[in-house]
Amino acid sequence: MGVLVKDTAGYETGRGILSGCEQKIMNETNLKKIKALNNPKILEIIEKFIDHCKPGKVTVITDSQEDIEYVRELSLKNNEEQRLAMQGHTIHFDGIRDQARDKANTKVLLPAGVKISSFINSKDREAGLNEVLGFLAGSMQGKELLICFFCLGPNNSKFSIPALQLTDSAYVAHSETILYRPGYEEFKGCGDDFFYFVHSAGELDARCNTANIDNRRVYIDLQENRVFTVNNQYAGNSVGLKKLALRLAINKANREGWLCEHMFILGARPEGKDRVTYFTGAYPSACGKTSTAMISGQSIIGDDIAYIRAGEDGRAYAVNVEQGIFGIITDVNPEDDPVIYKALTTPRELIFSNVLNVDGVPYWLNMGKEIPPAGINFSGEWFEGKKDQQGNPIDPAHKNARYTIRISELGNADERLNHPDGVPVSGFIYGGRDSDTNVPVFEALSWTHGVYVGAAIESETTAATLGKAGVRKHNPMANLDFLVVPLGQYIKSQLDFGNRLNTPPKIFHTNYFLKEDGKFLNSKLDKKVWLLWAEGRIHNEYGAIKTPIGFIPKFEDLKQLFRQILAEDYTKADYETQFKLRTKKLLEKLERVEKLFAEEEQLPAGFMEQFEQEKQRLTETLQGFGRDCISPFEFPPVTV
């Protein structure tokens, strides 16, 4: 290994060119690919983990189509994926206990003495490194290590971050070739400024699934911009460039003064108007994020993660970190999701995971057609009535089953999907699942107020997905699960970013789940009206009504939009029921938010001022009207 030194974790690293030991498992062609990068840090990382994980073979994957095809075929050869009947379609199964992100064992490694928000799962850095490196030691014996290079963000862009992936799973590498842009060329001259990820599925069982799930670990090392993940295959845990890289990028963004957000990017395109207006949006799980990103007639740039920077013109610009979608397939059907459904049922490169396979045809829950009574799924041979070891029924497809596809394969892909300058963002949209408090859409009073609105997001759990229904969970910017910096620091970064802009985006809030007497007050299609109202607000085409929580639409504007967009008659009764101000419920929410933020240190003064001001406005409104629910017609319209 050449000269051996100790790194900060205390394990040995090699420096210099790859030794004869490595050359026995890496042929000359692959060795040349590494040396061509002329990057000592990459050589050091590769040497270190070849020696530590002990793979039987090492293959370097560049940007070439030949290398990418090699990965795809290797996944089939290794039985990590199987071909389906339709051309280009394959299927992958994770183990029955490896079907979702492992929040309990996903931890941020902190040096001794460093504090972080209490809700962030953390572990002593030295102890964590020793543990996870212990699990990785020898984990690739008899397997092939794939060394892959990707780009987080568009190629040749100031937004982008090179990402190095080491994995013994061809499925992981294949998924990344679909989800992320090629990055081998990006590494030439990048120096030390890149992320890297080391993954091993560990020992495999007869179905080629991870055998030692109890030893599953996902550890994020902010100090070295790296993530270690072992004994798992589910993409949310194993594909380092996704939610694991999100955490590294949030840390980097907070240091450097830009934003890394858990946001979609869409282009709003009102009919009859020659313009496109770009929005980003953040929604907790099961709150309408993907369905908003895919609203009919609009264009999509991304459905999950955005990097946002200030442009030279003083506006915010955003890029999609990814070029693909790792999307939940449950409920995707031809009526509600025609664009995605068409892509999933026509020939193209596409990975299904954890759906039902019946003679090469995939089936998933609520897809709009009958599911056969038997087939192959994540549990093995499946049949109606099959139960797990605890006696619970096993669904034909998992509720968290997924599809992996390039966005360019969708009919509504935006033409600026890969533009290195990104797109100018005119609006942020935040939303949650809320049955009884917030109106369907409103606009924040200012950027600072909008940051408060985003930080105060709540979402109710649903019985179908999370057990007990109606439990309200606080999720600032829908990013809580991925924060690796103190919440106060994160909020301050949001405030500072907007204050540096000449024209900060307008901030909106939506709620698709308002109910009365147990019935939803809006249809699934209404979200298009709320989006295009927000788009019109950005272009000063609509007035508004100023309320204590923000600006709400005027009835006349919504009546016109419902007629134009949905060919529906929107009545005053509909409007009054949906947009009445439920002051007591709003004040109850403020009490919940206050308790949560009281636990945080160093919240910015401007943020807490917004909280106090909104509380005062709602209290005065309740006292002034002398009743709880106040009709929107009782507030004066404004022209702003």
394: left (phi over 0), alpha (psi -120 to 50) or beta: beta
* Whole-number Cα distances in Å, 413 to 160, 227, 325, 410: 20, 31, 12, 6
- Give 483: exposed, middle or buried? Use CB within 10 Å, 0-12, 13-18, 19+: buried
Instruction: Give, in degrees to the nearest 5, the angle at Cα 400 between 396 and 406.
Output: 110
- Give 616: exposed, middle or buried? Use CB within 10 Å, 0-12, 13-18, 19+: exposed
53 carries an active-site annotation: no
Nearest Cα neighbor of 458 from 572, 588, 348, 606 is 588
**Rounded distance, CA 61 to CA 147, Å?**
6
Extract the tokens encoding 167. 């994995």
**Rounded distance, CA 489 to CA 257, Å?**
11
**Rounded distance, CA 374 to CA 376, Å?**
7
- Give 334: exposed, middle or buried? Use CB within 10 Å, 0-12, 13-18, 19+: middle
- E strands of 370-436, at which residues? 374-377, 380-383, 402-406, 423-431
CA neighbours closer than 13 Å in the CB half-sphere of residue 127: 7
* Whole-number Cα distances in Å, 165 to 65, 151, 181, 245, 469: 18, 11, 13, 11, 39
Name the packing angle between helices 583-598 and 605-625 (round to 10°).
150
Residue with tokens 């405030």: 495
Which alpha helices (DSSP H) does 261-402 contain, by range? 289-293, 338-344
Q: Among the options 151, 190, 208, 287, which is catalytic? A: 287
Nearest Cα neighbor of 187 from 242, 146, 150 is 150
Extract the tokens encoding 25. 């498992």
- Give the catalytic positions in this structure: 287
